[in-house]
Amino acid sequence: MQLRSLGYIVGALFFLAACESATMQDSAADGSGKQEMKDGGQMAAPAPRPQSPPTGFSIAEGSQQDFVINVGDRVYYDFDRSSLKPTARTTLEKQSVWLKKFPAVQVTIEGHADERGTREYNLALGERRANSAKDFLVALGINPSRLKVVSFGKERPVALGHDEASWSQNRRAVTVPTTGLPGS
Amino acid sequence: MIRTICGHWKSLGLGWIIAAFMTVAASMPALAELRVDVTRGTVEPLPIAVADFLGNGATASQVGRDVARVIKSDLERSGLFRAIDSKAFINPEKSLDSLPQFSNWRVVNAQALTQGRITVEGDQKLKVEFRLWDVFAEQQMIGQVFTTVPSNWRRIAHIIADAIYKRITGETGYFDTRVVYIAETGRGDRRIKRLAIMDQDGANHHFLTDGSSLVLTPRFSPSRQEITYMSYHGNIPRVYLFNIDTGRQEALGDFPGMTFAPRFSPDGNKVIMSMARDGNTEIYSMDLRTRKTARLTNHSAIDTSPFYAPDGSKIAFNSDRSGTQQLYVMNSDGSNVKRITFGKGRYATPVWSPRGDLIAFTKIAGGKFFIGVMKPDGSGERLLTDGFLVEAPTWSPNGRVLMFFRETPLNGNRGKVSKLFSIDLTGHNEREMVTPLDASDPAWSPLIP
């Protein structure tokens, strides 16, 4: 499950990169995206997500890509904090709208921490972050039975650098649709 | 793989090792004893000559060289001994049946001399005789005979090194021990982690899990061949027991949230751990016989990394209830919680010394990580080592050495290297433990019974 969701995220990033270089590839969500991850290692800083799909490329509404690219699947936290920043609230509001539109979708919210804490404390911190995102979605009217949480502490960094630019990307909660996607 | 380990452990049973004591020189030394004080800050290593053990034939001679090599390596890694190069030896004795020529050993500056003899009797029996001499007092300090199965030769070498360490320092040794840890490969969010076990010198290395599930933070049982650890098996993060003899793994308890940070109680009958649920992390204990659980903390903060005092009466843990991670001590029933750290920075992973007199910890301050020790009331803080990331100290069973892991960043966003290190309580003698892969989360076993 974890690996598959990563594939999608990576695929989405590849897609953004592809937009910039104006070369479209329909298969971007799969193998080629993984290759980029392997070679590039560190992902770029959180890229601004387009408000609507670029012309000439169609993302199926209610798909994993739709969620990642058009809604935004992740929110970021300050160091050793689990409170939601205004940008995080905006993202979660968009997630709640999307989740209401596709009421069969179930998600897992993955909480993560940067490498600047001890392993066990960071597991607890990741759990706290995932729950801060969950609580906000519940407050926005999403049924808690649709929302699972899991913490990975500092075990699953997406950025491999050892500076604030990387750490800020790793302190995150990622909402991952697991089942109930239309057409799947 | 499991079967190999099982066989290996079973063959280590006490029944197979028979130790006897013998004394060649009758009178005990009246002079100042040959002694190393391990509590001093810097110790000049004691020069010791470890002669190859003699053997009755080619096989026995090879075992004799191997035993001497393992003893030498144990003693040298302790930082308290310097093994004299055997090329400098002058006419080393060809027999164990007469007194050594002490004058020859004094010339090469040996303060202590170890000699031994290996006798292979058929396929099933190995006899190991060993003596430790005080070269200047011309006195025998130890004489022992072991009878065992041939495959146990390495363990006998560790037991002999422990005997030498104890006779000369007055402290119990720690060479006949093992280390369980997490072996790591791969980068970033694809990191693969496996439970692994090895002797304290890195020999007899085995993987205990295959890497299909993320595993973290193993700890030895003080009383059984068991490890408690955390696994993401089936995408459900929780605490498990691993039986080293049978390879059997078992989830501990049926908690409604993630369980993690497990440790055994000193009698081995309980596991304490954290459970996180709805954004709150508390400490629980579970009785392994009745499987009953009890919640020990009740606070909206993160309470984790619990560790029993060696007498079982108290538990140290870290909590961010003050706003940042600090160390606390409470009674083992959860009562009488007291904060013990007030210094600058964050404190984590308290581990009580087997002697009870110190707590080792991880500290984070000024963008660096430190390993340090303090008294259980929080006074007398002493930092032993630091780095970009050093974490998770674990004590040798004699409370004289700490092992921990150190992560070193690689340039150009290529991730990091993670390795195990040991360091003396004095802050000296930091050494890398050689492991086949990257390594983290070490846990030192008790002395093998």
Phi and psi at residue B152, in whole multiples of 5°? -90, 10
Question: What is the per-residue pLDDT across B289-313, written as a single tens digit (0 to 9) for each?
Answer: 999 999 999 999 999 999 999 999 9
Maximum C-alpha span of chain A = 47
A78 CB within 8 Å of a chain B CB: no
Handedness of CA B432, B437, B438, B440 (dihedral sign): negative
Q: Do B416 and A123 touch (CB under 8 A)?
A: no
Nearest CB partner across the interface for B391, out of A82, A119, A160? A119
Show the tokens assigned to B394: 């674990």
- Asked if pLDDT for residue B10 goes beyond 70, the answer is no
A82 CB within 8 Å of a chain B CB: yes
| β-sheet bridge partners, residue B327 | B318
Quote the strand ranges of B149-252, DSSP E.
178-185, 192-199, 206-207, 215-220, 226-231, 238-243, 249-251
Q: Put the strands of the sheet holding B215-220 in their side by side order.
A: B215-220, B226-231, B238-243, B249-251
Q: How far apart are CA B395 and CA B262, in angstroms?
A: 16
Nearest CB partner across the interface for B279, out of A116, A132, A161? A132
| β-sheet bridge partners, residue B47 | B82
Q: Do A118 and B235 touch (CB under 8 A)?
A: no
How large is the average pLDDT for residues B27-45?
61
Q: How far apart are CA B313 and CA B317, in angstroms?
A: 14
Average model confidence (pLDDT) for chain B?
Answer: 91
Question: What is the per-residue pLDDT across B181-204, written as a single tens digit (0 to 9) for each?
Answer: 999 999 888 999 999 999 999 999
Q: How far is B411 from chain A (nearest CA, A)?
A: 8
pLDDT at B5: 28
Question: What is the per-residue pLDDT across B198-231, written as a single tens digit (0 to 9) for each?
Answer: 999 999 999 999 999 999 999 999 988 999 999 9
Show the tokens assigned to B356: 């009870």
Q: Which residue has the higher pLDDT, A161 or B40?
A: A161
Question: What is the per-residue pLDDT across B348-403, written as a single tens digit (0 to 9) for each?
Answer: 999 999 999 999 999 999 999 999 999 999 999 999 999 999 999 999 999 999 99
**Domain range summary for chain B, segments of one domain joined by +:** 15-169, 178-444
Q: Do A121 and B392 touch (CB under 8 A)?
A: no
A155 CB within 8 Å of a chain B CB: yes
Q: How far is A140 from chain B (nearest CA, A)?
A: 17
Q: Residue B73 carries which DSSP code? A: H
Residues 6+ apart with CB under 8 A from B44: none
Give residue for tokens 């709208």: A97
How large is the average pLDDT for residues B146-174?
96
Q: How far is A18 from chain B (nearest CA, A)?
A: 22
The candidate with the shortest Cα–Cα distance to B103, out of B134, B135, B133, is B135
For residues B225-254, one letter each, b for 16 or more C-beta atoms within 10 angstroms of the residue's C-beta and e for the rest, the string is: bbbbbbbbbeeebbbbbbbbeeeebeebee
Confirm if A80 and B322 have CB atoms less than 8 A apart: no
Confirm if A182 and A62 have CB atoms less than 8 A apart: yes
- Which uninterrupted H or E stretch holds A89? helix A86-101
Q: How far apart are CA B403 and CA A178, in angstroms?
A: 41
Of A34, A120, A138, A172, which to mutate for an interface test with B (greatest number of B Cβ within 10 Å)? A120
pLDDT at B90: 96
Q: Please, what are the domains in chain A?
A: 2-179 (3.30.1330.60)
The single-letter code of the amino acid at A110 is: E
| β-sheet bridge partners, residue B54 | B117
Question: What is the per-residue pLDDT across B52-71, written as a single tens digit (0 to 9) for each?
Answer: 999 989 999 999 999 999 99
- For domain B15-169, is the CATH number 3.40.50.10070? yes
Nearest CB partner across the interface for A124, out of B187, B274, B441? B274
Quote the strand ranges of A26-100, DSSP E.
74-76
Q: Percent of chain B scored above 90 by pLDDT?
A: 83
Question: pLDDT in tens for each of the 184 residues of chain A?
Answer: 343 444 344 334 333 333 333 333 333 333 333 333 333 334 444 444 445 555 556 889 999 999 999 999 999 999 999 999 999 999 999 999 999 999 999 999 999 999 999 999 999 999 999 999 999 999 999 999 999 999 999 999 999 999 999 999 999 999 999 999 986 5
User: Which CATH architecture group holds B178-444?
Assistant: 6 Propeller (2.120)
DSSP code string of B334-351:
S-S-EE---SSSEEEEEE
B389 CB within 8 Å of a chain A CB: yes
Confirm if B91 and B104 have CB atoms less than 8 A apart: yes
The angle formed by the CA atoms of residues B270, B272 and B277, to the nearest 5 degrees, is 135
The single-letter code of the amino acid at A27 is: S
Quote the strand ranges of B381-445, DSSP E.
382-387, 389-395, 401-409, 416-424, 431-433, 438-444
Residues 6+ apart with CB under 8 A from B64: B52, B53, B54, B55, B116, B117, B118
Nearest CB partner across the interface for A157, out of B189, B274, B409? B189
Show the tokens assigned to B422: 């040991």
Band (pLDDT 50/70/90 cuts) for residue B285 is very high
The conformational region for residue B79 under phi > 0 = left, psi -120 to 50 = alpha, else beta, is: left
Q: Which residue of B has its CA nearest to A164?
A: B367
The candidate with the shortest Cα–Cα distance to B318, out of A123, A4, A112, A170, is A123
